[in-house]
Homo-oligomer: A and B are copies of this chain.
């Protein structure tokens, strides 16, 4: 049964997201996952680092699903952007400011100490960019402009999460959401108008 393995990864992902890598103990993970201790090193011979990297990638994959989930039903790109930030703010409030970005904490923590973990985080960010990009290209934005907007979106979201979690307020998320909606709108207005020429 690989059910245990999945529970371990899921529990790790949740603990990493809330308290980071160093503060999360292997024993704590097996307790949360209701898994036997020995299973950790059976499934993850690379130890905590391998398990952590896999949990990060899994978290990244799950979070990436939010993109279609929010963008598909939205009437247009601008309101999708707005909805994304609003949804993040609501979820943050609901979880008492515990669940923000699933990987940002770890990303900041380990990027000077563990290359495998840092790479896992970098891969997740890249995959988010790749996942968001087509939606902005599809509405007529140049590829490089679209990339800038997507990167700015993710950066604004991550930064707002940092402020929101620390101050226990969603103000930063609301401000960043409105701002990025405006930025998106402006980028759409500017497309296909070779104006100054």
Contacts and interface: CB of A to CB of B under 8 A. Distances in A.
A163 B112 contact: no
Interface residues of A, number: 48
Interface string A18-34: 11111100000000000
A171 B155 contact: no
A156 B154 contact: no
Contacts of A109: 19-20, 23, 105, 109
Interface in A137-184: 148, 151-152, 154-163, 165-168, 171-172, 175-176, 178-179, 183
A176 B156 CA distance: 8
Interface stretch (A4-12, A37-45, A66-74, A121-129): A121-129
A98 interface: yes
Nearest to A117: B166
B23 A166 contact: no
Contacts of A104: 108, 162
Given A108-B165, A165-B111, A172 B155 contact: yes
Interface in A67-120: 97-98, 100-101, 104-105, 107-109, 111-113, 118
25 contacts: A18-B112, A19-B22, A20-B108, A23-B109, A97-B111, A101-B162, A105-B109, A108-B108, A108-B161, A108-B162, A108-B166, A111-B166, A118-B168, A122-B168, A125-B167, A126-B167, A148-B179, A151-B163, A152-B176, A152-B179, A155-B159, A155-B162, A155-B175, A156-B159, A186-B186
